[in-house]
A and B are shown apart, each in its own frame.
Chain A
Amino acid sequence: MVSRSSSELKALLLTLAVAATPACSTVRPEDKEFLAHPAMTFGSEGDREGQEEHVLQNREASFGAGGVSGGGCGCN
């Protein structure tokens, strides 16, 4: 029982640490010049990549986790 509680506590602390990590890694708005570049923005290719995804989905059994658009530059 002791060992189970201990491992659950460790898992909880690890989860909290991972969840808090983004808050610690702040990039200031004035430092986002490169992050705002289309090459650094996830999903900026839009429909031009969608048709390739359509082709591959019809020829492979896998699906999903291809990414989402946006990501917010927050430059202004």
Chain B
Amino acid sequence: MQLTRLLLWAWLGVAALGSVAEAQVTVGSTTSFYRESGGGLESTAITPSLQIRGDIQDVVTLRAGWEADIVSGASVAVVDAPGGEVDAVTSATKWNDFRNTATAGIGVASEFARLDASYTYGHESDYRSHGFQLSAQAELFDRNTTLSISYGRGFDKVCNLRQPTALEAVDRQRLPTSDGCFGGEDRESLDLAIHTFQGGWTQAWAPILATQLTLTAQVLHGYQGNPYRAVWLGRAAAQEHHPEHRARYAGGLGVRLWLAPLRGALQLFGRLYRDTWNIRSVTAELAYDQTVAEGLRVRVRGRYYNQTGAHFYSDDYTRFPRGQYFTGDRELSPMSSWLVGGRLEYDIPANDEGSVGPFARFVLAAKFDWIKYDFRAFHYGQVSVPNNTGILATLGLEAGF
């Protein structure tokens, strides 16, 4: 109800201001379908979203948005060592989840600078979040240089099973179900504070060359595990136990080069990442964006990702424990992934009156990605991760009034 009310007020705000102040209103919608297939641990996520933006005389921008995640699948509740006898995959637990997020934001722009502020509320049966973001951007040197900074603050709450505070981590039980979360007597909510800082430098070097350097730092404090997951420790299984502090640092460089004879752009991206859980990663991406007709573009790309594992990650805590922490999270193990994909976008050319039917602008987009994961040091008992292939398909449209 709170979410619906927030969205309704945001919509009314944009619509009312649009009508009185001659705003340019843009409405966009996307729907994504993600499917991870493989031997008993399939999962599916459908993500519809809606965004509304009103630009008032190029000075004030109002934004409102909604997104949902409708997720279903099966997961392993107790992650066992490679020598385990239990067939964890066949006995995986089926689950469903429904996440809603609503966003409202305002921006103010002058000729060479802009300020933006936004708020996001997220709601699901076992998770609540409030997020605030402030960002500033300035254009310098004949608009060849753009500098931007932003700060985001998240106030998240995670549902967990209520257990005695003095209970040792190795004796803690996992949350069996989300029933009773945020109200039930045998449930508690744990805080997670998130601070995100980001700086960006975009530079036009030549009429056909632009680069963008982005630096991000994030500090998290609070509960960062999956309350439903337990790890087999030898004599018993205990709820996974992660450190409460994590600082994450990333630096990315994007390069775009226009290939005039082909009427296309070569797009390169590289990123280095490390955090205080001792995860280090590298990401490399190569894409090519080709204009095939007026308003019609095709983009193809490939991406490679590789990471080391967290310092407390082990595939077998009974034989190789890693101190006081333990995890059953495959994303914290050494892993890599490959992605290949393509996108088709059609920005329908305007007629002689400068419109597209009843719209000032109309864009259609379709996107498809195929992702292959390699979890080289993660097992569910005696089997490797079966659901190691994903497909992501997205359809989107944007209409300007």
Contacts from A to B (Cβ < 8 Å): 22-23, 25-29, 31-35, 37-40, 42, 45-48, 51-52, 54-56, 58-68, 70-74
Task: Kindly state the separation between the CA atoms of A65 and B256 in the bound complex, as whole angstroms.
Answer: 16
- Residue B265 at the chain A interface, CB threshold 8 Å: yes
Closest-CB distance, A39 to chain B (whole angstroms): 4
CB pair B273 A48 closer than 8 Å: no
Least CB distance, B28 to chain A, in whole angstroms: 6
A39 touches B206 (CB 8 A): no
Contact of B210 among A33, A62, A71 (CB under 8 A): A71
Say yes or no for B129: interface residue by CB 8 A criterion. Answer: no
Contact digits for B142-186, partner A, Cβ 8 Å, 1 yes 0 no = 111110101000000000000000000000000000000000000
Q: Is B142's CB under 8 angstroms from A67's CB?
A: no
Write out the residue numbers on chain B whose beta carbons fall within 8 Å of the beta carbon of A56: 305, 337, 371
Contact between chains at A66 and B203 (CB < 8 Å): no
- Chain B residues in 8 Å Cβ range of A70: 137, 146, 148, 202
Do most interface residues of chain A lie in helix, strand or loop, or is the interface mixed?
A: loop
Contact B205 A25 (CB under 8 A): yes
| B373 on the A face (CB < 8 A) | yes
Q: Tell which of B206, B258, B281 touches A25, judged by Cβ atoms closer than 8 Å.
A: B206
Known contacts A25-B203, A39-B265, A71-B212; decide if A47 and B49 are in contact (CB<8 Å): yes
Among B30, B204, B205, which residue has its beta carbon within 8 angstroms of that of A32? B204
Cα distance, A72 to B204, chains bound together (Å)? 9
Q: Least Cβ distance of B65 to chain A in Å?
A: 8
Interface residue ranges, B against A (CB under 8 Å): 28, 30, 32, 34, 45, 47, 49, 51, 65, 137, 139-146, 148, 150, 196, 198, 200, 202-208, 210, 212, 214-218, 248-252, 254, 256, 258, 260, 264-265, 267, 269, 271, 273, 275, 277, 279, 281, 283, 289, 291, 297, 299, 305, 307, 310, 331-332, 335, 337, 343, 347, 365, 367, 369, 371, 373, 390, 392, 394, 396
Cβ B305 vs Cβ A67 within 8 A: no
CB-contact partner of B258 in A34, A45, A51, A55, under 8 A: A34
The distance from the CB of A44 to the nearest CB of chain B, in whole angstroms, is: 10
Complex: A60 Cα to B280 Cα, angstroms: 11
**In the complex, what residues of A have CB within 8 A of residue B206's CB?**
25, 27
**Residues of B with C-beta under 8 A to A55:** 32, 34, 45, 390, 392
**Which of A28, A33, A47 contacts B51, CB < 8 Å?**
A47
Report the bound CA distance from A31 to B206 in whole Å: 9
Question: Distance (Å) between the CB of A9 and the closest chain B CB?
Answer: 24
The smallest beta-carbon distance between A20 and chain B, in angstroms, is 10
Contact among B140, B273, B310 for A65, CB-based, below 8 A = B273
Chain A residues near B248: list those with CB within 8 A: 62-64
B144–A74 contact, CB under 8 A?
yes
**How many Å from the CB of A60 to the closest CB on chain B?**
6
A54: chain B residues within 8 A (beta carbon): 47
A22 touches B273 (CB 8 A): no
Q: Which of A31, A34, A40, A65 contacts B215 (CB 8 A)?
A: A65
Contacts of B198 in A (CB 8 A): 64-65, 68
By the criterion CB–CB under 8 Å, are B335 and A51 in contact?
A: no
